[in-house]
Every structure is written in structure tokens, then in C-alpha cells.
Amino acid sequence: MKKNSELTYKQEIDNEIRQQAVKLQAVKLQDRCVALFALPLRVYAKILEDNSTRKRPYRVSFERVQRVIKAMPEFE
């Protein structure tokens, strides 16, 4: 895998979505059914919250967050 400095902006955003999904699922959501339903919304909200501290805020839609999370092997 490429180093962070070599990632494209799209890859960087997708990685952030994956990291937040794994972190939030492990910490806050124990029930798998609830996790798959609520997780995309929680990840989206967290990314928007973190955008206030980023020099270059991530432009991401809720649909993109859902698509990335559904593609993760951890949630199959």
C-alpha cells in the first residue's frame, strides 16, 4: 500500500471512512444489525465534525460513506 503522502485525495477520504467505521463499530455499536444500519450515519457525522479541524476538509456524501462501508470485508 502507498504511504499517506502518495495517496490520492479520493483514497485518503476512503481510508478515513474505513478507519472511522472500524473504530465506531468496535467502540459504540455491539449489535450487528444496528451497526450496519446506524454506522454510515455515525461515520458521516464524525467526518463532518472533524472537517472543522482539517486544513483541506473532506468532501464526502452520505451515499459515498454507505458505499465504502458496504464494500468493507469486515461488514460482510
Given this model, what pLDDT does residue 67 score? Answer: 92
Given this model, what pLDDT does residue 39 score? Answer: 85
CB 68 within 8 A of CB 18: yes
40: which 3 cell numbers?
A: 454510515
CB 43 within 8 A of CB 60: no
Residues whose CB falls within 8 Å of the CB of residue 13, separated by 6 or more in sequence, listed in order: 58, 59, 60, 64
Grouping H, G, I as helix, E, B as strand and the rest as coil, residue 64 is: helix
pLDDT digits (tens, 9 = 90+) for 27-57: 655 555 555 678 889 899 999 999 999 999 9
Q: What is the mean pLDDT of the chain?
A: 83
Domain ranges, ordered by start, for the chain: 7-75
